[in-house]
Amino acid sequence: MAMAALRREGRRFAAPLISSQPMTAIRSSLIAEEQTPLGLRSISTQVVRNRMKSVKNIQKITKAMKMVAASKLRAIQTGAENSRGLWQPFTALLGDVPSVDVKKNVIVTISSDKGLCGGINSTSVKISKAIHKLTAGPEKETKYVILGEKAKAQLIRDSRKDIELSITELQKNPLNYTQVSVLADDILKNVEYDALRIVFNKFHSVVSFIPTMSTVLSPEVVEKEAESGGKLGELDSYEIEGGETKGEILQNLAEFQFSCVLFNAILENACSEQGARMSAMDSSSRNAGEMLDRLTLTYNRTRQASITTELIEIISGASALEG
Amino acid sequence: MIYLSFNKIIIIIIIILCKIFYSIRRRNRQKRVENNIQHPLSPADAPPLPISESADADAAAASSTTITTMFRQASRLLARSINQQPKMMARAFSTDVPATPTVDSTFVESWKKVIPNMEPPKTPLTFMQPRPSTPSTIPSKLTVNFVLPYASELSSKEVDMVIVPATTGQMGVLPGHVPTIAELKPGVLSVHEGNDVTKYFLSSGFAFIHANSVADIIAIEAVPIDQIDQSLVQKGLAEFTQKLSTATTDLEKAEAQIGVDVHSALNSALTG
C-alpha cells in the first residue's frame, strides 16, 4: 500500500519534473494499474514490451536495408571505376577552369531519388546554392538543372524560379551511357549556357564522399578563352581533323564532353548514395540495438518491481491474517 | 537537311550496333557455356544448338521492340566481354586520387571570399592523373589511352603506331605527331605494337593527340573485329538501304543514312 501511495505521489510530481531517468522508466512507473479480476494490482509491462517489439523490427529492417545497399554498391562500383577514364582526356585537352567568368551559368545538381542516405543530398544542395551565390552578379544569370527528387524538394523552396529543368527517376533502369546521352541531349537543347557546372558526390571510399564540381564550357567560351590565352591558350596549336569548321568540331566536342562527364558524375553519385545509405542504416541498426538494451533493462526492472509488489501484498496480507 | 546534334548521332549509331553485338555476345556466351559444361549424354547437346540459333533471331527481333531492355543487356554483355583483360585498378577503396593533388587557387580564393564557412568542392584537376610534359626530342613510343564508358580498354599503353578512323579518312598516328583534335566516324582502329596488330571496330567518338606523344581515343563502343558476324552485317546493310529508299521524313532519312554508313563501314572492316 505504501508503494501504491508513493506511486500516486510520483504521478503528481513527475509531470513538471525533468528527471535524469530515461523517459521509458518514468512512463513505465506511471502506467495505469491493470485491473485484474481478483482485485490484484500489478504494474503492466505491456507498453515496454510493445516498444521492444517495434524497435526490434526497426533493427531488422535497417539491417536488411544495409545489406541491400551493400549489394547494390558492389554492382555499381565497378561501373563507376571503369568510367573514370572517360573524363580525363577532356580535362587533359581543355584544362579545368572553374573560376571562369561567364554570363550564363547553369548548375546541374545530381542527387538521389530515395531518402535515408545520410547527408549527401544536403551537401550537394548546399554547394549548389553556394555556387549560385558565387556566380551571381550584375548581368549574370545562374539557373539550375536538377537530377533527382531530393535536390528538387530542397531547391524548390527558395529558388523555384531559377530551376530550368528537373529530371527524376534516373535509376529505374540500370544506368548506361545511352540513357545519359539522351538526357544530356535534352538538357543541352533546352538550356542556354555559357558554362555548365555539374555538382555531385565523388565516390572516394565506402565511408568518404567528396563533393565535386566539374565545369563544361560552351564552344563560344572555349574559343574566347583560347584566344585570350591562359589555360586554354594551347588549344589553338591543335590541328582540327574532320568537319568543315573549327566551330563545328568544338560544338561536337562540348556536347560529347558534357555527356561523358555527366555519365561519370551520375555513376559516382549513385555509388556515393549507396555507400551513404549503408553507413546510415548501419548506425541506425546500432542505435536500435542500444535502445533495445536500455528497454530490456527497463522491462526487467518493471517486471521485478511488479513481482516484488505482489509478494509484499501477499505477505502483508498473510501476516495480517495471522495476527 | 535536318540538324542532328552529336549526341543524337552517337545514340543512333549505338542502337544500330547493339543489335549486331547483342546477338553475337549471346551466341559467344552460349558457345562458351556449352564448351565448359561436359555433358555425359551427347544427344543432349544437339537439340540446344539449333534452338539457340532461332532463339538468337527471336531475341534480336524482340530486343529491337524494347529499346531499354536491349540497352541494359547489351551494356551488361559488352562490359562483361570487354573486361577480360586484367584491370589496373584492383583496389576496392580510394582508387584514383593521385599523390600530389593540384587545386585551382583562383577558384578556392574567390570561394573563400564569398562563402567563408564552407569547404570549396573539389574539381577534376584534383583527381587527374598527371600527364607527362612535352619532351624536347620525339619519343620512340606513342602512349595510347583508349577509353570507353564501360572500361578503359588501353590505359597508358606504349605502342608504335595507331590508325584511327577520322571523318576525313584513316589517319595514322606516330610518336611526334602534331597536336590534333580528330572527330571519328564508325570504323576500324588498329593498334600496332612491334609485329602485333590489334584491330577494334569503333563507334564514333573523338581522338586527341597531344604534343607529348600521348593519344587519347574516346569511343562509345568498341569490339574486336573477329567477333563481328558477317551475315548479320549483310542483313543489316540490306535492311537499312531499303529503309533509306522508303524513308519519308528527314529524321527517318538521317537515321537510315547513318545505318547504311555504319553497316558499310562494318562490311569494309571485315573485308579490308
* Domain boundary assignment for chain B: 6-37+57-89, 142-226, 230-271
Are the C-beta atoms of residues B221 and A178 closer than 8 Å to each other?
no
pLDDT at residue number A320 = 93
The answer, for B98 touching chain A at a CB cutoff of 8 Å, is: no
* Model confidence pLDDT, tens digit, residues B122-140: 888 888 888 888 778 888 8
Q: Check pLDDT > 90 for residue A308.
A: yes
pLDDT tier for residue B90 given thresholds of 50, 70 and 90: very low
| Farthest CA pair distance, chain B | 78
**Mean pLDDT, range B216-233, rounded to an integer:** 87
CA distance B235 to A115: 48
Calculate the alpha carbon distances from A299 to A30, A308, A322 in Å.
14, 14, 35
Q: Are B64 and B13 in contact (CB under 8 A)?
A: no
Q: Indicate the CATH number of B142-226 among 2.40.480.10, 1.10.10.60, 3.40.50.2300, 2.60.15.10.
A: 2.60.15.10
| Whole-number pLDDT of residue A41 | 56
Q: Quick check: A96 contacting B, CB < 8 Å?
A: yes
Over 50: is that where the pLDDT of A189 sits?
yes
Using a CB-CB cut-off of 8 Å, the residues of chain B touching A97 are 104
Task: Tell me what the mean pLDDT of segment A302-318 comes to.
Answer: 94
% of chain A surpassing 90 pLDDT: 54
**B165 near A CB under 8 A:** no
Cα–Cα dist B163/A116, whole Å: 50
Q: Report which of residues B28 and B212 the model is more confident about.
A: B212
Asked if B57 reaches chain A (Cβ–Cβ under 8 Å), the answer is no
Residue of B nearest to A136 (CA): B114
| Of residues A36, A207, A190, the one with CA closest to residue A120 | A207
Q: Which residues of B touch A234 (CB under 8 A)?
A: 179, 211
pLDDT in tens, B159-178: 888 999 888 888 898 888 88
Q: Does B101 touch chain A if contact means CB atoms closer than 8 Å?
A: no
Q: What pLDDT band is residue B110 in, cutting at 50, 70 and 90? A: confident
Q: Give per-residue burial for A176-204: e unless 16+ CB within 10 Å, then b.
A: bbbbbbebbbebbeebebbbbbbbbbbbb
| Amino acid B2: pLDDT | 66
- A184 contacts on B by Cβ (under 8 Å): 7
- Closest-CA distance, A54 to chain B, in angstroms, reads 36
Could you tell me the three cell numbers for B96? 584514383
B260 has pLDDT over 60: yes
H-assigned helices in B37-174:
48-65, 67-82, 105-114, 124-127
Q: Supply the DSSP string of A125-177, one letter for each residue.
A: HHHHHHHHHHT--TT-EEEEEEESHHHHHHHHHH-GGGEEEEE--GGGS---H
A202 pLDDT above the threshold of 60 = yes
Bridge partners, B196 (sequence order)? B193
Rounded mean pLDDT, A39-68: 89
Best of A83, A178, A279 to disrupt the B interface (most B CBs within 10 Å) is A178
- Mutation for testing the A interface, residue in B3, B117, B154, B181 having most A CBs under 10 Å: B181
Contacts of A165 (CB under 8 A, 6+ apart): A145, A146, A186, A187, A190, A191
Average pLDDT over residues A96-124: 89
- Residue A107: pLDDT band by 50, 70, 90 thresholds? very high
Q: What's the pLDDT score for residue B176?
A: 86
* A218-242 confidence digits (pLDDT tens): 988 888 887 876 666 677 778 887 7
Give contacts of A74 with chain B, Cβ < 8 Å.
none
Contact B74, B22 (CB under 8 A): yes
More confident residue, A161 or B96: A161
Task: Judge whether residue A90 has pLDDT over 60.
Answer: yes
